[in-house]
Amino acid sequence: MIGIFDSGVGGMTVARAVETLLPDLQIIYYGDLARTPYGSKSPETIIEYSINNTEFLLSHGAQAIIIACNSAASVASEILRQKFDTPIFEVISPAVNRAVATTQSGNIGVIGTRATIRSGIYTQKIKQKSPDLRVFSKACPLLVPLVEEGWLNARETKMILRKYLAPLKQKQIDTLVLGCTHYPLLKDLIQHRVGKNRIKLIDSSIEVALTLQAYLDENPDFSKTLQYETANKYFVSDITKAAINTAEKIFGRHIDLKKV
Amino acid sequence: MIGIFDSGVGGMTVARAVETLLPDLQIIYYGDLARTPYGSKSPETIIEYSINNTEFLLSHGAQAIIIACNSAASVASEILRQKFDTPIFEVISPAVNRAVATTQSGNIGVIGTRATIRSGIYTQKIKQKSPDLRVFSKACPLLVPLVEEGWLNARETKMILRKYLAPLKQKQIDTLVLGCTHYPLLKDLIQHRVGKNRIKLIDSSIEVALTLQAYLDENPDFSKTLQYETANKYFVSDITKAAINTAEKIFGRHIDLKKV
């Protein structure tokens, strides 16, 4: 059983990518909707919540954990790895690896929530890999509320994207990391805004699913222990109509959310 | 000591109004920033948080409580009144009373978060007072994030306000209730959008402060028991730079936020 947690339903883009790539795995998801969003909160608070979420997933049988929330991954990954024995995957490193492998101009853009960008984690990890690369990042705190409002194609969303992305375009980036699991829902708008042939988008949901697949391929002993009980389970700490709608948009079908 | 709670710092517009109108009172404020916002969460969750917050304020000496969050007021006021003996004020009824007294056309508009609007509390309370009035309400979930982004005068904010307010303007309202304590920060933009001479805005922060003043005037025995220890205290469950900035914008001076 693969445990996936996020502050809300945005991390379901990760669950969707895992489901697509590894349809035989059983997923157990936890969305902390009662305390969402994490992106505007302090590191101490996000760490506390991440520990809670991991303990919940482990107590429900998770054998590996994916932190499907960039804000949590940026401040809590190392602490979770120290605290728990289970393999811990997160959405940042796979996207960093892909971005470093993709850029040709050496100019990489990163967008995310305020907590993710302020942590500086993307810049730090990219520079660790390749100190000569230039990283330009921009916090985009309105994108999550716009996605949750369902304005996925609204003129206002396009304008706000233009405002957020303009300084990155000026820097001649050729690679843009979508550093928030909500952003894949805006992928088409973002791609249109930055130019289809000029800038390659990196979707951390897909990258972390690929990383999990590689890990399972390389660790057959671990893979063999993975248990498959029933269908995938989607737990949330609060249920709202907006969350149900976003989940449906991500999966393209109805998802049963269970409040715990 | 007057206890005031909100999901975040928006309720400080209420603290500011109380401070201005009743400068001799001591205020103890609690902003639940670790779990903010409430407006997108379910009634059950908001009720649980409202009970927590009230217990915190009472344990710190509050002798009356103001629910300075429309989402909490809309779903939790009655439960808090049943559960606690302390006088409980909230931001909805005073604004309703003012709106009913103000309208001449009989068409009242209400804007608020999704939780507040979905609760139908404004419509219900206005109709209770005066069944012939017509109430038109509109959830505006992006306004709180826009305020917290600090885009108080941005073109994007104006466009989003136009989109949200257009259906209300079409209904020929002459009174518009700002049903969220963040919205007074957008008062000038909203007034400009709806037309200065056509539509009167009702600011629930000011109305609840006036209601508290009237209560104290009419209950001298209670007023005499009010204790004044030290300066006003501002507690929060999480601290971020954005929250500090919004608090400063509301008060026009630096506010010491204490994390508990």
pLDDT per residue as tens digits for the range B65-105: 999 999 999 999 999 999 999 999 999 999 999 999 999 99
- Show which of residues 192-221 on chain A sit within 8 Å of chain B, judged by CB atoms: none
Q: Which fold has domain B2-90+206-259?
A: Rossmann fold (3.40.50)
Given an 8 Å threshold on Cβ–Cβ distance, is B36 in contact with A40? yes
Q: What does the pLDDT look like over B226-250, one tens digit per residue?
A: 988 778 999 999 998 889 999 999 9
Given an 8 Å threshold on Cβ–Cβ distance, is B34 in contact with A40? no
Alpha-helical regions (H) of chain B: 12-21, 43-59, 70-83, 92-102, 114-119, 121-129, 143-149, 155-170, 187-194, 204-218, 220-225, 241-251
Active site residue A140: no
Q: How confident is the model at residue A142 (pLDDT cuts 50, 70, 90)?
A: very high
Given an 8 Å threshold on Cβ–Cβ distance, is A240 in contact with B36? no
Given an 8 Å threshold on Cβ–Cβ distance, is B40 in contact with A240? yes
How many contacts, defined by CB atoms under 8 Å, are there between A and B?
64
Domain range list for chain B: 2-90+206-259, 93-203
pLDDT of A41 over the 80 cut: yes
How far apart, in whole angstroms, are the C-alpha atoms of residue B186 and residue B114? 18
Q: What share of chain A is helix, strand, coil (3-state, %, to 5)?
A: 50, 15, 30
Judging contacts by C-beta atoms under 8 Å, the chain B residues touching residue A239 are 42
Active site residue B140: no
Nearest beta carbon to residue A160 from set B114, B144, B156: B156
Given an 8 Å threshold on Cβ–Cβ distance, is A156 in contact with B155? no
- Closest CA in chain A for residue B161: A156
Q: Is A40 on the interface with B (CB under 8 A)?
A: yes
**8 A C-beta contact, residue B136 and residue B112:** no
Give me the interface pTM, i.e. the ipTM: 0.83
How far apart, in whole angstroms, are the C-alpha atoms of residue A29 and residue A5? 6
Q: Name residue, tokens 């107590």.
A: A59
Two tokens, residue A206: 């897909």
- Closest CA in chain A for residue B32: A35
Q: How confident is the model at residue B124 (pLDDT cuts 50, 70, 90)?
A: very high
Q: Check residue A185 and report its DSSP letter.
A: G
Q: Is A177 on the interface with B (CB under 8 A)?
A: no
Q: What does the pLDDT look like over B186-227, one tens digit per residue?
A: 999 999 999 888 999 999 999 999 999 999 999 999 999 998
How far apart, in whole angstroms, are the C-alpha atoms of residue A123 and residue A134? 8
Mention the CATH class of domain A92-204: alpha beta
How far apart, in whole angstroms, are the C-alpha atoms of residue B255 and residue B234? 8
Q: Is A35 on the interface with B (CB under 8 A)?
A: yes
Nearest beta carbon to residue A45 from set B34, B142, B149: B34
Predicted TM-score (pTM) of the model is 0.89
> Are the folds of B2-90+206-259 and B93-203 the same?
yes
What is the model's pLDDT at position B186? 96
Q: What does the pLDDT look like over A237-251, one tens digit per residue?
A: 999 888 999 999 999
B93-203 domain in CATH 3.30.565.10?
no
